[in-house]
Chain A
Amino acid sequence: MKVFMLGWEFPPFISGGLGTACYGLTKAMSRLGTEIVFVLPRAAQSSQSSHVKMLSAEGHIKTEELNDFQNVRFKAIVSALRPYVPSQIDEASENKRKDHRTYTWHNNPSEHTQIYSHDIYEQVCRYAQKAAEIASVEDFNVIHAHDWMTYPAGVEVARLGGKPLVVHVHSTEFDRSGEHINQAIYDIERQGMHAADKIIAVSNYTKNIIINRYGISPDKVEVVYNGVESNNGTPVQELPNKSDKIILFLGRITMQKGPEYFIAAAKKVLEKINNVKFVMAGDGDMTHRMIEYAAWLGIGHKVFFTRFLRGADVDRAYKMADLYVMPSVSEPFGIAPLEAIRHGVPVLISKQSGIAETLKNALKVDFWDIDQMANKMVAVLKRSPLSRTLREYGNIEIGKFRWKDSAAKVNKIYKEMPACAQARV
């Protein structure tokens, strides 16, 4: 089986879970012997990635990992694509329009919204055009497109070559923007899903959105859960004794991730216990508002903002945490909680997430239920048997989230498509 794969994030150029997912999935598929041509936009320099060494297309992979990716060839298209641009543009204009209706304290959209290009659709078109050119000289059985920015490319390549198209939905416009969706992006998503022969959703949660919001027939959508990289036995570095407990938020600080619920819960927790700190690791258009919100609530001295973290810093953040919280308003899957468990950290996740439907050894709350969120945060900090049980059983459970299984399921989906039935795997 040869796959023409279209993505837009791949380590080290990542800003969220998508890059991690593409990396894990491609690596596992390659190991299973599936040949992949991975088309990727090469990110232009931006403030966030400036400290990262620019690599050639093939240079995405560290040399020691080359064996794992021996069936993958990377093709780069130079562009300035950033995955989460639209919601951020939306947020900025939204804030201007809505003024301060939501919060009585003063807010300013973060200056980061300014650095993104507004010709995003042009970029998407360019990517589609270039991808079609690459496809014309490649030999493959199936096209696999990850998230909306690559759907037009997928549709175009399928139209030209008559090959079956699989679109992989890692998130939808409704996850990123709530009810105030960007119509143009929704249209792109919808066209891609309707043009596809098969849709892979990262959870039943996402599958339901695809069915209900995009008018797709349920039997066209398959659910393939993400995996988590197994622990490569990196020794857990002992941290200096800390007197305070730490509750960690790690993710983009955007509306989708529910940072304001985290801070509101923090306020409630601090009414009950004092020896606790709240760390918000990540960045996004709501960062400044959240800093101000914490200050406005009078807990600014207890909430710490690290801004965007990478690599070893992410590991360090997990290791110092006593609890990881994912209060997402809408989370298609949620790899981060699995990463937290892998680092031995108990997790509290919102029920509005794909991971909540399958992960048992986690605490769960509705993202809006501040009382319960605070109640459970306090419980984890106060009751060591609770965090112990969550850690022990969670660690066993994450063994079931293996990229190998996800890859096998994706292969099975390819094989079951009539147009691919003939191809050798």
Chain B
Amino acid sequence: MASVCFYFQVHQPYRLRNYTIFDTGSDYFDDAKNAQICRKVARKCYLPANQLMLELIKKYNGRFRISYSITGCLLEQLQLYAPDVLQSFQELARTGCVEFLAETYHHSLSFLYSRNEFIEQIKAHKRTIQRLFHQRPRVFRNTELIYNNQLAELIENIGGFDAILGEGADHILGYRSPNFVYSPKKCRKLKLLLKNYRLSDDIAFRFSNRSWSQWPLNAHKFAGWVNSANGCGFTVNLFIDYETFGEHQWEDTGIFNFLRHLPDEILKHPDNDFKTPSEVAAAYDSVDVVDVPYTISWADIERDLSAWLGNPMQHNALAELYRLEDTVKRTKDKDIIRDWRKLQTSDHFYYMCTKWFADGDVHKYFNPYDSPYDSYINFMNVLDNLACRCSRAVSEEEKRDSIYQEQAPANQRVLQKI
């Protein structure tokens, strides 16, 4: 029995505008560029891919099943710039064959810095998914599949989740295969689904690579690789950026045709089927406990945090951002809190990454900056302004409080008279 479990990550950040030390406005984001990119990706990827998924779901009458994790910041942008994409996701939700996963609303690294903020963002995301797709997410995936034992433990304690996703990195699995269901350490109920990175990356990264020995990849060949998991695993977890279809791999590479024929080829084998992450977690028992004492992710060849926390600038930017948390929240100012959260999106720190030489191509995807240094300078200028707004807002608040306190006795006197 081999179940193919598709999960697609769907995300776009709010990119910052060029913001110098001389800027004073609180309009940090490049609305025009964000709208433009959003529409472009909608045209090249989201709309045609959603259309295809819908066709396939109808064609296979419930046997083709998939899952999405769509970030809050993209859902907001879709409502603004590409409402047709949102509608097509809603249509997909109505088929009953599509599962929506939970993650941090702003695609943030908050798990590493603030448990409170982390939990608030998951709640916000769950609420949004429920509101838009009428589903209660049962599976959690953290930003960029960042994962360790503590994360799993925290997610189990938060409750409401059956499974969590992670990268099937060799150094945590050892001889074990990612094609089984596992349990995180110290968790009793929560199950762990691990990405089959070889087969996932065959689609996501190598599909159009002509120097790859397996090029050209077609559905038949791929189904053969999936079939070989029969007898040594239950599930093939294909965790892929949704933008793979039409954006990372352009339409003329044949990526849509590949997807179109894949269900047919997979289902030719009587033992195969498609399952969503929740269904995988329900169908298969855990075979072992996986211990992940240090943090892993799905990024780059290192599969660690070095894409976001690899140099002093990234450490500094993140530390300064989360150091503001209390101040930001004390202002109770909705705009300030919203801007602060938009700054948490991991992409901002990814742009500051200095390890270009091996992984450069992926890092360049819609990177608005010429260099990681420019990205850091811009981000810190914005953060500076946000900090100023906070202290202004807090001092105004205090002023109001003190006025209120001065007036209070007078009011009481009036009350006493009555």
Q: A residues bordering B, Cβ < 8 Å?
A: 268, 271-272, 360-364, 371-372, 374-376, 378-379, 382-383, 385-386, 388-390, 392-393
Which one, B312, B313, B374, contacts A363 given CB within 8 A?
Answer: B374
Contact residues in B for A361 (Cβ distance below 8 Å) = 354, 373
* B292-325 to A contact mask, C-beta < 8 Å, 1/0: 0000000000000000000111011100000000
Could you tell me if B376 and A372 are in contact, using CB atoms closer than 8 angstroms? no
**Cα distance, A417 to B120, chains bound together (Å):** 69
Q: How far is the CB of A381 from chain B (nearest CB, A)?
A: 10
Is there contact, CB below 8 Å, between B311 and A389? yes
Question: Does the CB pair B376–A386 fall under 8 Å?
Answer: yes
Chain A to chain B: the 4 pairs with minimum beta-carbon distance, closest first: A385-B316, A375-B20, A385-B312, A379-B377
Q: Kindly state the separation between the CA atoms of A292 and B298 in the bound complex, as whole angstroms.
A: 58
Cβ B371 vs Cβ A375 within 8 A: no
**A372 and B20 in contact (CB under 8 A), knowing A360-B371, A379-B380, A389-B373?**
yes
Q: Is A268 touching B313 in the complex (CB atoms < 8 A)?
A: no
For residue A360, which residues in chain B have a CB less than 8 angstroms away from its CB?
Answer: 356, 371
> A268–B22 contact, CB under 8 A?
yes
Query: Given the known A-B contacts A268-B22, A272-B21, are A375 and B356 also in contact in the complex, defined by CB atoms under 8 Å?
Result: no
Given contacts A379-B377, A386-B377, contact A393 B22 (CB under 8 A): no
Contact A363 to B373, CB < 8 A, known contacts A374-B21, A375-B22, A379-B380: yes
Task: Let me know if A389 and B377 touch, CB within 8 A.
Answer: no
Task: Report B232-259 residues with CB < 8 Å from chain A CB.
Answer: none
**CB nearest neighbor in A for B384:** A382
CB A297 to nearest CB in B, in angstroms, measures 16
30 contacts between A and B (CB under 8 A): A268-B22, A271-B22, A272-B21, A272-B22, A360-B371, A361-B373, A363-B374, A371-B22, A374-B20, A375-B20, A375-B21, A375-B22, A376-B377, A378-B21, A379-B376, A379-B381, A383-B313, A383-B376, A383-B377, A385-B311, A385-B312, A385-B313, A385-B317, A385-B376, A386-B376, A386-B377, A389-B311, A389-B312, A389-B313, A393-B311
1/0 per residue B7-24: CB within 8 Å of A? 000000000000011100
Other than the given A360-B371, A383-B376, A385-B311, 5 more pairs (CB < 8 A) read A363-B373, A375-B377, A379-B376, A382-B380, A386-B380
Q: Does B370 contact A (CB under 8 A)?
A: yes
- Distance from A67 Cβ to chain B, minimum over Cβ atoms (Å): 35
Q: Contact between B354 and A393 (Cβ–Cβ < 8 Å)?
A: yes
Kindly list chain A residues whose C-beta atoms are within 8 Å of the C-beta of B370.
364
Residue from the list A272, A374, A378, A390 in contact with B373, Cβ < 8 A: A390
Report how far A372 CA is from B317 CA in the complex, Å.
20
Q: Which parts of B129-162 form the interface with A (CB within 8 Å)?
A: none
Q: Give min CB distance, B106 to chain A, whole Å.
A: 23
Residues of B within 8 A of A362 (CB): 373
Bound complex: CA A122 to CA B80 (Å):
71
Greatest chain B CB density within 10 A among A362, A375, A378, A390 is at A375
> CA separation between A389 and B381, bound complex, in Å?
18
- Min distance, Cβ A394 to any Cβ of chain B, angstroms: 10
Whether A389 lies near B354 (C-beta < 8 A) is yes
Distance between Cα atoms of A360 and B360 in the complex (Å): 12
User: How distant is the Cα of A383 from the Cα of B377 in the complex, in angstroms?
Assistant: 9
Residues of A within 8 A of B317 (CB): 385
In the complex where A360-B371, A379-B377 touch, is A386 in contact with B22 (Cβ < 8 A)? no
Q: What's the Cα separation between A379 and B376 when bound, in Å?
A: 9
Closest to B377 in A: A379
B20 near A371 with CB under 8 A, answer yes
Query: How far apart sit A379 and B375, CA to CA, in the bound complex (Å)?
Result: 11
**Would you give the shortest CB distance from B357 to chain A, in whole angstroms?**
9
Q: Is the CB of B381 within 8 A of A375?
A: yes
Task: Say how far A274's CB is from chain B's closest CB, in angstroms.
Answer: 14
Bound CA–CA A409/B311 (angstroms): 34
**Roughly how many angstroms separate A386 CA and B375 CA in the complex, as a whole number?**
11
CA distance A313 to B22 in the complex (A): 35
Contact for B312 among A364, A372, A388, CB less than 8 A:
A388
- From 313 to 359 in chain B, residues with beta carbon under 8 angstroms from any chain A beta carbon are 313, 315-317, 354, 356
Residue numbers in B under 8 Å from A272 (CB-CB): 21-22
Q: How far is the CB of B38 from chain A (nearest CB, A)?
A: 27
Question: Which partner residue on chain B sits nearest A378 by CB separation?
Answer: B21
The minimal Cβ–Cβ distance linking B140 to chain A, given in whole angstroms, is 32
Expressed in whole angstroms, the minimum distance between the Cβ of B376 and any Cβ of chain A is 6
Nearest-CB distance from A75 to chain B (Å)?
44
Q: Which residues of B lie under 8 Å from residue A392 when comparing CB positions?
A: 312
Measured in the bound complex, the distance between the Cα atoms of B376 and A268 in whole Å is: 20
CA distance A286 to B371 in the complex (A): 33
A202 to B303, CA, bound (A): 39
Residues of B near A375 (CB, < 8 A) are 20-22, 377, 381
Q: Which residues of A contact B22 (CB under 8 A)?
A: 268, 271-272, 371, 374-375
What chain B residues lie within 8 Å of A268 (beta carbons)? Answer: 22
Question: What is the CB-to-nearest-CB distance from B367 to chain A, in angstroms, rounded to a whole number?
Answer: 14
Chain A contacts of B381 at CB under 8 A? 375, 379
Neighbouring B residues of A374 by C-beta, 8 Å = 20-22
Residue of B nearest to A377 (CB): B21
Chain B residues contacting A390 (CB-CB under 8 Å) are 373
In the bound complex, how far is the Cα of B23 from the Cα of A272, in angstroms? 12
Q: What distance in Å separates the Cβ of A23 from its nearest Cβ neighbour in chain B?
A: 30
User: How far apart are the CA atoms of A382 and B377 in the complex, in Å?
Assistant: 10
| Given A360-B356, A375-B381, CB of A386 within 8 Å of CB of B373 | yes
Query: What's the nearest-Cβ distance from chain A to residue B310, in Å?
Result: 10
Q: Does B380 lie within 8 Å of A383, measured CB to CB?
A: yes
The chain B residue with its CB closest to the CB of A348 is B373
CA distance A364 to B371 in the complex (A): 9
List of B residues within 8 angstroms of A379 by Cβ:
21, 376-377, 380-381
A267 to chain B, nearest CB (A): 12
